[in-house]
Amino acid sequence: MRPTLDESKPIFQQITKMIEDDIVNGELKEGEQAPSSTQLVAYYKINPSTVLKGMNQLVDDQILYKKRGVGMFVADGARGKLLEARRQTFMEEYIGSMLQEAGRLGISTDDIYKMMEEMKRRGER
């Protein structure tokens, strides 16, 4: 979980993002219990209905499922689903805007490949 909320996104979306991040990073494994709304409310000092709105969205997206009287748990296949969705977003947002900017600067796709190789090498060093 991230310790603070920022104002660039509605709060309930930030809540879902935090839980999703934890699942993607493997901090929250499939079948494990997600943070309870009580914990989230106390931690972020926000109205329970806001937390619930975020949680319910995750239930609708089949990332979490409800166990009556116990709490919310990470659904089987949740991580795969999230990875797939993020992959899609990655392509549409990062790659999309990268290509746009590259177009503006006159960078060819070949150049981009080279740049990527270069950055990868630096990262490995």
The whole-angstrom separation of Cα 86 and Cα 96 is 14
3, 4, 7, 105: which one binds other proteins (CB under 8 A): 7
* Min dist. Cβ of residue 62 to other proteins (A): 21
Nearer to other proteins, 9 or 17 (CB): 9
Of 30 and 57, the one with the shorter C-beta distance to other proteins is: 57
DSSP string of 54-114, one letter each residue = HHHHHHHTTSEEEETTTEEEEPTTHHHHHHHHHHHHIIIIIIHHHHHHHHHHT--HHHHHH
- Interface stretch with other proteins, choices 38-46, 56-64, 74-82, 110-118 (CB under 8 A): 38-46
Considering only residues 54-113, where is the footprint of other proteins by CB under 8 A? Answer: 97, 100
How many Å separate Cα 58 from the centre of its chain? Answer: 11
Candidates 15, 34, 44, 64; binder of other proteins (CB under 8 A) is 44
